[in-house]
Amino acid sequence: MKKTSDSVIEKNYQVAKETYAALGVNTDKAILKLSKIPISLHCWQGDDVGGYENTGTGLTGGIQATGNYPGKARTPDELRSDLEMVYSLLPGKHRLALHALYAETGGKRVERTDLRPEHFNNWIGWAKNQKIGLDFNSTFFSHPKSASGFTLSHRDAGIRKFWIEHGIACRRIGDAMGRQLGTPCVNNVWIPDGYKDIPIDRKTPRELLEKSLDAIFAEKLDPRFHLDSVEPKLFGIGSESCVIGSHEFYLAYAAKNKTLFCLDAGHFHPTEVISDKISAVLTFLDEILLHVSRGVRWDSDHVVILTDELEAIAAEVVRNDYLDRVHIGLDFFDASINRVAAWTIGTRCMLKALLIALVEPTAKLREFEIKEDFTSRLAMLEELKTLPVGAVWDYHCAQQGVPVGSRWLDEVKHYEAKVLSKR
């Protein structure tokens, strides 16, 4: 296929710029703003949430990566190489979210309670070189001590203690990351705890979970380097009837304890959307974390694409001026396609959705709404959908020195032939 030439990209941009200017939108400003929004890429798309710890349990916790596309990253070095490829295809500077099971322990078995910042030295050094920030997640799954499906809310005090110590160790790691990289590390807690079938007692495990979280968060950490976040969900595989860390539980916990709250797009009833929840929770909370994902019929963690909901999420963040209060992270894992492409598609779509929001004539739409002219509001929203935002996106990519249009795919195919297929 013939590729768009630079002069066409430039010409198309000038037309688009005039089109948007007629609506009072400055596209130069929009792309400048977009270039400063970091997306936190999730390391676990690169190896199907496997990690390099080898506890022998495989992936547990009621989440699942399906597919066996060749080329998955078998070592942290391979994962970093794949990530460098992805970052080279994205306009802007982004971040990386790690999970505790991506520690590098030099071949020694280090228990999760004993993980220390030094086990992430390679990651931190690499992040410094790449000039990217790191976020973190403690790992409460894929471990013999989570085999019962319970961790921080387990009735056994010994098991709870183990996971509390893991949580504490991870906060120190996150704090070290934040200090060394000079940007706050968002440290997210998600636990799988829950019952497959109808429990008699939902109260005791929730009370235990509160106590465990309090113990983990007891040590005060400087928010300039470290931010705590808690992530609820509706159900998992094997926890269909009751999840201990449910929405109400964590929303109340976050409000009371001033932690961040994580909204994962796949963690609600299928007709519920997180776009509608952002302003609701930010009326009361200072900051939130997003796990942008795409559930297909269930919390399936499909690759993020440019859906109406993705556009709505971006629009909520941009229209309400929440960019400083919303940490945008991704959370999907597809093992059925090229994993580097999966990351690239999802992140580029997230950025495109933000761009669409940034070139929206929001003031005009707001005016219609205030005047109760809902006819004009609807009409304009629909007209906006076919404006030439693609030309603005292409120009932005060209300006940032990253592939325009589907050219990125050629690079991924080349990388696949040269690197991934040899694994």
Dist. CA 28–CA 46, nearest whole Å = 34
Nearer to ligand RNT, 27 or 293 (CB): 293
Minimum distance from CB of 140 to Zn ion (Å)? 12
Single out the catalytic residue among 47, 135, 175, 299.
Answer: 299
* Angle subtended by helix axes 308-319 and 275-282, to nearest 10: 20
Q: What share of the chain is helix, strand, coil (3-state, %, to 5)?
A: 45, 10, 45
Which residue has its beta carbon closest to ligand RNT?
A: 190
Q: Per CB under 6 A, does 49 bind ligand RNT?
A: yes
Q: Per CB under 6 A, does 143 bind ligand RNT?
A: no
Does residue 166 have an active-site annotation? no
Does residue 343 have an active-site annotation? no
Does residue 197 have an active-site annotation? no
Minimum distance from CB of 189 to Zn ion (Å)? 11
Nearer to ligand RNT, 342 or 387 (CB): 342
Dist. CA 50–CA 58, nearest whole Å = 7
Dist. CA 309–CA 302, nearest whole Å = 14
Nearer to ligand RNT, 141 or 415 (CB): 141
Cβ within 8 Å of residue 1, ≥6 positions away: 406
The site partner of 179 among Zn ion, ligand RNT, none (C-beta below 5 to 8 Å per kind) is none
Nearer to Zn ion, 76 or 192 (CB): 192
Dist. CA 12–CA 229, nearest whole Å = 42
Does residue 233 have an active-site annotation? yes
The answer to whether the CB of 217 falls within 8 A of the CB of 257 is yes
Does residue 291 have an active-site annotation? yes
Binding mask 368-407 for ligand RNT (x = CB under 6 A): ----------------------------------------
Question: Could you say which of 44, 136, 150, 163 contacts ligand RNT (CB under 6 A)?
Answer: 44
Does residue 3 have an active-site annotation? no
By CB under 6 A, the residues from 161 to 190 that bind ligand RNT are 190
Dist. CA 228–CA 122, nearest whole Å = 23
**Maximum Cα interatomic distance, the chain, rounded to a whole number of Å:** 68
Instruction: Name residue, tokens 């299928």.
Output: 270
Token pair in block for residue 154 = 């387990």
Dist. CA 240–CA 55, nearest whole Å = 25
Does residue 163 have an active-site annotation? no
The answer to whether the CB of 130 falls within 8 A of the CB of 49 is no
How big is the site for ligand RNT, counted in residues (CB under 6 A)? 10
Single out the catalytic residue among 190, 343, 393, 408.
Answer: 190
Dist. CA 80–CA 390, nearest whole Å = 30
Q: Per CB under 6 A, does 331 bind ligand RNT?
A: yes
Minimal CA–CA distance to 20: which of 317, 392, 379? 392
Does residue 267 have an active-site annotation? yes
Does residue 190 have an active-site annotation? yes
Dist. CA 45–CA 58, nearest whole Å = 15
By CB under 6 A, the residues from 206 to 245 that bind ligand RNT are 231, 233
Nearer to ligand RNT, 91 or 192 (CB): 192
User: Residues with catalytic annotation?
Assistant: 190, 231, 233, 264, 267, 291, 299, 301, 331
Q: Catalog residues that contact ligand RNT under the rule CB under 6 A.
A: 44, 49, 63, 137, 190, 231, 233, 264, 291, 331
